[in-house]
Structure formats: structure tokens, C-alpha cells
Homo-oligomer: A and B are copies of this chain.
């Protein structure tokens, strides 16, 4: 029913809402993320509002409706299951699957999706640690903060990388910074804008903006 353009907009709105923790999304931000001119976003948003996928207050911004959120979660489920399948079964690199999934997420039927889900044993997280919404739209919760604001001296488990850029993912992999890995934060220097961590022997230094993209949780936590 929904075109892939609509699915992409809705997914992006969902992701923007996540960052700004629930506030209304601005048309400008949306346009920027979608790589379109602002006027294009405006007219698209009007169409989405007509289909009752978003609530739209001209000049104030927009927010997903319940239906919009469900669609977003369904797209995200397809995207992330596909990513995991490509990595675990077909052996693609985690740095390249995001692009692939960007197209496949619109072409996978529920029938195939369920087979993939079963094949992978109903996983909860994708290769980047992103939560995979369930078929009913439940998102596995994960309480985690970024390396950028973790106390020095403690150990953590990497749970998620929040940047799909393939250069960054390759860098992370080269340095052993992948979900599940245990790291120890050994130093933070706010003047130098950097954090030092230890990961399996190695010492790695990260600038704050890179550190922000790596989320961790307490050593004790989750089964993954």
C-alpha cells in the first residue's frame, strides 16, 4: 500500500523523533535527512497527514500517529532483520549491509520476513546493535549511554553503534569496537575532547564526536 518513498519518510520521522525524545519534528530537519529541498518535504508531509500517518501543524512541525509509528516499526523490522541476515547468512560485511537493506526493506513480503526471522531465531538486535521491533511492534528495550558520558575506570559492554557510515563502521571493526565486546574506559580529557578506552589489550583514543556514536551498557546486563 505505502510506496517506498512514504516508507522512507515515515522511518526517518521515527528516527528523528527518537533523537529529540518525542518532540515534534521540524520539516527542515526532515528535508535535510531525506536529502530533499524543504518545499518537497512540506508537500510530502501534507500527503502523509492526509493518509493519517502524521499529525501536522503547519510551521510547528509534525509527529507520527499511532498508525505511522506502526508502519515505521514494520519498516525498521524489515531493515534490521535483512541486515542481520545478510551478515550472518550471506557473509556480507556489517559496513555494507545498511545500503543493501535500504532497498530490500521495501521489497520483502511478510511471508519472506517471517522465514528470515525464524531462520535467525527471532533475534532482538541487528549487526549494529539496533533493536529489532517484534512483529507486533514491541521494541526490545536497552538502557545504554554513549562512551562519551560514561564514568572513567569502569568496564562496559558495547551494545550499539549509532552510525551507519561504512568508513566509521570499518574503523570500529578494525579496532575491535563491535557489539558484545567488553571495553574499559581508562581516561577522559575534556580539554582534548577525547576519551581513552581499552579493548582486548589495545588502547584506543576517540574524539567526543566518535565516542558519542558508541553506546554501552553495564557489564552485568543483557543476554545477547
Contact = CB atoms under 8 A, between A and B. Distances in A.
A106 interface: yes
Interface stretch (A65-73, A88-96, A143-151, A210-218): A88-96
A107 B104 contact: yes
A98 to B, nearest CB: 12
A92 B119 CA distance: 12
Interface stretch (A26-34, A110-118, A164-172, A197-205): A110-118
A115 B90 contact: yes
Given A96-B111, A111-B100, A90 B116 contact: yes
Contacts of A103: 107, 109
A115 B96 CA distance: 13
Contacts of A90: 112, 115-116, 119
A86 interface: yes
B91 A115 contact: yes
Contacts of A92: 111-112, 115
B109 A107 contact: no
Contacts of A107: 103-104, 106-107
Contacts of A104: 104, 107-108, 112
A17 to B, nearest CB: 26
B106 A86 contact: no
Contacts of A89: 89, 119
A112 B102 CA distance: 13
Which of A90, A100, A103 is most buried by chain B, counting CB atoms within 10 A of its CB?
A90
Given A86-B112, A89-B89, A91-B115, 6 more contacts: A89-B119, A90-B116, A92-B111, A99-B109, A103-B109, A104-B108
18 contacts: A86-B112, A89-B89, A90-B112, A90-B115, A90-B116, A90-B119, A91-B115, A92-B111, A92-B115, A96-B111, A99-B109, A100-B109, A100-B111, A103-B107, A103-B109, A104-B108, A104-B112, A107-B107
